Amino acid sequence: MKKRIFLLLCLFISVKMYAQDRLITNIGARKALSLNGTWQYIVDPYETGFYDYRYKELDEKNPDAYWNTDIPKNKTEKKEHGYIDKYSLQVPGDWNHQKPEFLYYEGTVWYRKTFDFHPADGATKYYLYFGAVNYRADVYLNGKKLGMHIGGFTPFNFAIPTSLLKEKGNYLVVKVDNKRGADEVPTLNTDWWNYGGITRDVKLVEVPPTFIQDYVIQLKKPEPGKAPSASPEVEGWVKLNNVKAGELINISIPELKFKKQIAATGQITKVSFNLPKLQLWSPEHPKLYQVSVSAGVDKIEDKIGFRTIEAFGKQVLLNGKPVFMRGICIHGEIPLDVRRAVGPDDAKQLLNQAHELGCNMVRLAHYPHDEAMTRMADSLGILVWSEIPVYWTINFASPAVLDKAKAQLKEMITRDHNRASIIIWSVGNETPISPTRTDFMHKLIIRAKELDQTRMISAALEVNYGSMKDMNIVDDPLGAFVDLVAFNEYLGWYGGLPDQCRKTNWSTPYNKPLFISETGGGAKGGFHADSLTRYSEEYQEWYFKEQVAMLKRMPDSFVGITPWVLNDFRSPKRNNPVYQEGWNRKGLYDDKGTKKKAFYIMQAWYKEIENKFSH
Ligand code: GCB
C-alpha cells in the first residue's frame, strides 16, 4: 500500500514537474517526423480500454488494454478491441466535425498510429510532441506509457527512451478524454463547444544530447514612460537541456550584423546586449528579424520582433507611444467547416477578417490558440491578448485546480514568450467576485509576473452596475492587481435595450488604463426586421451604433476595445430553434463568413479612430 502511495506521489510530481519544466519551444524549427495524418480510433465512452470490470486501471501489460496490440496471438485468443481503417480520423483536427455521429460527443476516444522510423546516426534524443490535445491525453508507445497531460490548448512533449523505438511498426496510442469536469480548467460550464481530439500537430522530434530547450530574446522592460533608446537593450536567457560545463552559446542576428558568444552558467544562462539600429516592431511596421541561437551541435532559428509595451498611468505605451487598441474577440473556430481552427491557413483567414474590420489587435478567447495564430499575428502586425481558460465558475477553492490553471499559464507563456505581437497575458474571464476567487486570481497574476515581467497582465473583470445613478463602476477587487482594467459589458443585450447607452457612463477607482474586453449582441445573418426585433441584423446594428456613441464619452483612460465576437460560433447553450440552433450569434460575420450590418458600424468607427491616432 505504502509503495503504491509512493508511486502515485512520484507520478503526481512528475506530471507536475512536466508541466513546469520540460516544454521544448519553437518546435516548428526542429528536425521532426510528422505524425499528422490518418489515425485509427476506437470510441470508448465507458473507458473499457483503461479500466477493468471493477473499474481499476488496467495493468500496463494487460492484453485487453487498448494501448496494447489488437492482433490476437493465435486463433484462440479473444480480442475485444481493434483498430481498422474503417474507423479513422484526421490529425490534427477535432473529432466532432469529422463524423456526424461525433457532433455532440464528449468522452474517451483512443487514437492509434503505426509508423516506421530510421534512427539518426550518432547520439540523438527523441521527443514526442503534441501541439494540443483536448483535454486529457494518456500516451503510450509500443505498450509503454510515456506520460499524461491535462489542459486542452497548450503543447507538451514526452522524452522517448531510444530503446523503445523500433525501425518498423511502432504502435503509438493516445487516449483522449474531453469529458468536462467540475475541477477542471475550464470547468463544466462554458459558452462554447468543447471540441475533442488531437487538435494540433503531432511530431517525433529529434534533438542532440545537449540542446536548446527554450530561450527568451526580447527587449527589456522600459523605464516607466520611456521610449526605447536608439540602441535598446535585450534581456533574456537561454535554457540548455543536459548542459555541459562551459558550453558556449552563440546568438546572432545577421541583418543587424550582431553576434554574441557566452559561456553557459548552468541550465539557464542569462543574456543581455544592446541592438544598435534596431527597427522596432509595431502594427504599422511588423519588422521581424532572423535570430539564430546555437550551442554545441545544436542550432535553432527564429523570427523575432522587438518592441516595448507597458501600462503607464492611464495609458498603454507601445514603444513609448500611446496606443489605442482597435480589437475584436476571436474564438479558435472555423464556423464554415464547424471545426476548431488549426494551422497557418486558418490563422490567416481569421486575422484577415479582423484586419478587414480595421483591427490592430485581437483577443484570443478564451484559451491559448494555435501557435500558427500568434506567429501569424507577429508577421501581420496585430497585437494579441492571450488567455487561459479560467472561465466563469472554476472551483476557486481547490489548490489542485489552481495548479492546473498555473500549468496552463506556464505552458501558454513558455510557448509564446518570444512573440512580439503578444502584449497581454490574461488569467481569466468573468470570474465571480469573492475573496476565494480574488485570492486564486491574484496567485495566477503573481505567477504570470514571475514568468514574464515585460508584458501586461489582465483579466476580464466584473462590473458593478448602476451603483451610482447612470454610472457603472468597474471596481472588481482584482482591479488592484492587473495592469489593465478590462471588463465585459452587454448594455442593451443582457437587460434593457441599446438606448440605455445614451445615459450610461463608466468609471473605475483604479488609476490604470481601462479596456472593454467584450460587448456584443446576437443577430442571425440574413434575418432583417426593424431594429427593435431581437436577432435581426438591424437590432445588432442599432446595438453597436448606441455603443459607439457611448464609447465616444468614455474617460481618457479608455485605451481600447475587443467587441464580442468576430464570427458566430458553436455553443450548446444557445437553443433558440429559429435564430440560434446551437450557435452563439454575436458574430460580426455570420457562420458562412458574410458580414452583418453591425460589422460596418464598427469598421467605420475604427477608421475614424485610426485617422485620429495617425494625425
Ligand atoms: C460573455 C462571455 C463569452 C460569452 C458572451 C455571450 O461575457 O465572456 O464567453 O460567449 O458573454 O455571448 O454571452
What is the distance in A from the centroid of ligand 1 to the CA of 424? 19
First to last CA, the chain: 73
**If you take atom 10 of ligand 1, which residue's CA is the nearest one?**
191
Q: Is 426 in the pocket of ligand 1 (CB under 6 A)?
A: no
Ligand 1 atom, smallest distance to 366 CA? 9
- The H or E element spanning position 23 is none
Dist. CA 330 → ligand 1 center (Å): 12
Nearest CA to ligand 1 atom 13: 191
Domain 2-207 carries which CATH code? Answer: 2.60.120.260
Report the distance separating Cα 561 and Cα 548, nearest Å.
11
> What pLDDT score was predicted for residue 363?
99
* Partner residues linked to 206 by β-bridges: 126
pLDDT value, residue 615:
52
Pick the CATH number of 212-307 from 3.20.20.150, 3.40.1710.10, 2.60.40.10, 3.40.47.10: 2.60.40.10
- How far is the C-alpha of 78 from the C-alpha of 76, rounded, in Å? 6
pTM score: 0.96
Mutate which of 187, 191, 430, 493 for ligand 1? The one with the most ligand atoms within 8 Å of its CB, which is 191
What is the whole-number distance in angstroms between the Cα of residue 604 and the centre of ligand 1?
24
Domain limits of the chain? 2-207, 212-307, 324-614
From atom 9 of ligand 1, which residue's Cα is the shortest distance away?
A: 191
Beta-bridge partner residues of 560: 325, 515
Ligand 1 lined by 108 (C-beta under 6 Å): no
Query: What pLDDT does residue 423 have?
Result: 98
For the chain, counts of helices (H) and of strands (E): 7, 38
**Cβ atoms within 10 Å of 157's Cβ, excluding its own:** 21
Sequential DSSP letters for 270-314: EEEEE-TTPPPP-SSS---EEEEEEETTEEEEEEE----EEEETT
Our answer on whether the CB atom of 538 is closer than 6 Å to any ligand 1 atom is no
Q: Which CATH architecture has domain 324-614?
A: Alpha-Beta Barrel (3.20)
The verdict on the CB of residue 489 being under 6 Å from ligand 1 is no
Please indicate whether residue 535, judged by its CB atom, sits closer than 6 Å to ligand 1: no
Pick from 248, 223, 247: nearest CA to 235: 223
Ordered mean pLDDT values, 10 residues apiece, the chain (615 residues): 46 42 95 97 98 97 97 95 98 98 98 92 89 98 98 98 94 98 98 98 96 98 95 98 94 98 97 98 98 97 98 98 98 98 98 98 98 98 98 98 98 98 98 98 98 98 81 96 98 94 95 98 98 98 98 96 98 98 98 98 97 74
> Ligand 1, closest atom to CA 494?
13
